[in-house]
Amino acid sequence: LNFLFCFSMYISKKALRKHFDPREFPQETYLLCKLKWRGGIRSWQHWVRNDDYNNCHAEQYFLEEIFEPRSYNICDMTWYLSYSPCWECCDVIRDFLEEQPNVNIDIYVARLYYVNHPRSCLALRELNSLREVNYLASISPDYNDCWETFIWPDVNYDFSPKKFQSEIQRNRVKLKDILQVSTL
């Protein structure tokens, strides 16, 4: 059995650098998640990655196999994705949010996935229009938050997005263009 996730809530510095640097194009997608139930004191964190061998994407695996509704309270999730969701995962996220109206997801992406494909662009626009997706239009995860949340405590921060700021800006412009609805 090939597991998609690690039982640890921390990833390695090397994995964060490799998968969230938009100048690189690794074959895997990483999903880093922070989850908090309103009214609760603690937040929960986890990470998963896709598994090409079993043809399962990180977003789908997280929503179908890991997330468990635990109460009727509102659940706020923050996702840091190494790639924007593919069109199939956009559909999975949409279906999940329709079934779980008490869940909100903020999605931050490091780079865009197949944005030259019309179906991908349409799926991203549809996902962005959902009320439960608060913030898809973000390129560049909060790297400080990713480091503090998903890297072992007391590890020195040595991952600066300043080195790839131009790539972040290029992706922001691309995503903004994709999410704008044509008025023609």
DSSP 84: P
Instruction: State both tokens at 61.
Output: 């695996």
User: What pairing do the DSSP bridges indicate for beta strands 103-109 and 75-81?
Assistant: parallel
Give which of 39, 61, 41, 42 is closest to 50, Cα–Cα: 61
Domain ranges of the chain: 13-179
Average pLDDT over residues 118-131: 84
Q: Is the predicted pLDDT of residue 16 greater than 80, yes or no?
A: no
CA 122, 67, 147, 104 torsion: positive or negative? positive
Active site residue 59: yes
> Catalytic pick from 24, 59, 99, 126?
59
Average pLDDT over residues 122-146: 70
Average pLDDT over residues 146-163: 67
DSSP 62: I
Q: Which of 18-27, 30-39, 52-61, 150-159 has the highest mean pLDDT?
A: 30-39
Question: Which residues, listed in sequence order, are joined to residue 34 by a DSSP beta bridge?
Answer: 45, 78
Average pLDDT of the residues of the chain: 78
Question: Which pLDDT score, from 0 to 100, does residue 180 have?
Answer: 83
Residues 13-179: name the CATH superfamily: Cytidine Deaminase, domain 2 (3.40.140.10)
